[in-house]
Structure 1
Amino acid sequence: MKKLLLFLIIAGAAWQIYHHRVQVTLGPGVTVSELPQQTSIESPVIHSVDGYAIQEVANFAIKAKVLSRENYYLGREADLSPVDLALGWGNMSDEAVLEHIEISQSGRFYFWRTASLPIPRREIETHSANMHLIPANAMVKKTLGRVRKGDLVEINGSLVNASSTDGWRWRSSLTREDTGSGACELIWVESLNIITP
């Protein structure tokens, strides 16, 4: 049992190192000009997943550049969302801008820093976000496993709030204007396409 656990840890670490080294480069220029689309839901659906209730709160669609990805294996959130993607659109999809910004993810947060702002701070804040992805089906989960930093992706689904009977709750942000704790989108992903040229 110890050998199996050690093997799994080593294999997981090797996969993480390999995956983080693989990065798509598209060159300078805005690659995604569209803003994320969010619309109200007239008759919200509640999905049941492994004892969690997933309630839709808004329809959501986004085309974006993957600025970073982080896999999660531990914690209740990982039961639902094994991957977070930090996504950018507008000038935050331009590699000429992104080369001046250091981006990282940890603890379900997305962080950025720069020695000199290549675009206004508020534009960085409102044109990028950390998104927690809940795959709605096996195809989405499989595609999510292939997403690389630098890819262009299209995501369709809904923003959701998750809960369990013991009082645990996880809520989605409903705006791209917020920052800090609670500003991440929690997405029930019904379709995910990698559209990198």
Structure 2
Amino acid sequence: MGPEDPRALAKGPYWLGPLARLLSKRRYRYDRGAAIAPWDFALGWGRMSDTAVLRRMRLWQADRFYFYAGSGEPPIPLQEIVESSANMHLIPATEAVERALARARPGQVVRLEGYLVNVYGPEGFFWRTSTTRKDTGAGACELVWVARFVVR
């Protein structure tokens, strides 16, 4: 991404490249976490936001997991995929944030502001956030309290 890219941000003589691209999203209504975190967004940055890389992969979400596959050799090393993409369980702070999340579309560059959180609920409900990007599988997703969400 360079200054000629329409996604670039400018401040004086500097250009800044937004980092997070929405790869996939899924709404949950019926699982135990849906009341608090109705949306899961798979986000990618670095080469996991590169259209040429993404065209060689199939991405999808199900059961609170984010999956990727392709035919043949992956377009980038698997560890780079793990460390530069994430499935995030999003907790909208307000109705306005909820509406903004609903309008977001895969491929868009997004910015969110908020906090990584653990969730404590009724009847002993506990949902722990991941705090590293080196993990995979159950428990590897981030739980994010989204105070502000913007599509670039």
Q: Do the two structures share a fold, i.e. TM-score over 0.5?
A: yes
Tell me which of 70, 77, 83 is aligned to 1:114.
70
2:13 alignment counterpart: none
Distance 2:42 2:149 in 1: 15
Report the AA paired with residue 93 of structure 1: S
Note the residue ranges of structure 1 that are not aligned, 5 or more in a row.
Answer: 1-28, 33-61
Distance 2:114 2:132 in 1: 16
C-alpha displacement of 1:63: 4.2
Q: Which secondary structure does the structure 1 equivalent of 2:137 belong to? A: coil
1:154 alignment counterpart: 111
Kept in 2: contact 1:160–1:172 (CA 8 A): yes
Report the AA paired with residue 194 of structure 1: V
Report the AA paired with residue 134 of structure 1: I
2:33 alignment counterpart: 77
C-alpha displacement of 1:154: 0.1
C-alpha displacement of 1:139: 1.5
Kept in 2: contact 1:155–1:189 (CA 8 A): yes
Tell me which of 129, 144, 147 is aligned to 2:86.
129
Kept in 1: contact 2:24–2:41 (CA 8 A): yes
Is 1:101 the equivalent of 2:57?
yes
Report the AA paired with residue 23 of structure 2: L
**Greater shift in the superposed pair: 85-94 or 162-171:** 162-171
TM norm structure 1: 0.66
Q: Which structure shows the higher helix fraction?
A: 1
Identity of aligned residues (%): 47
Report the AA paired with residue 71 of structure 1: R
1:142 alignment counterpart: 99
Note the residue ranges of structure 2 that are not aligned, 5 or more in a row.
Answer: 9-17
C-alpha displacement of 1:65: 0.5
Is 1:175 the equivalent of 2:149?
no
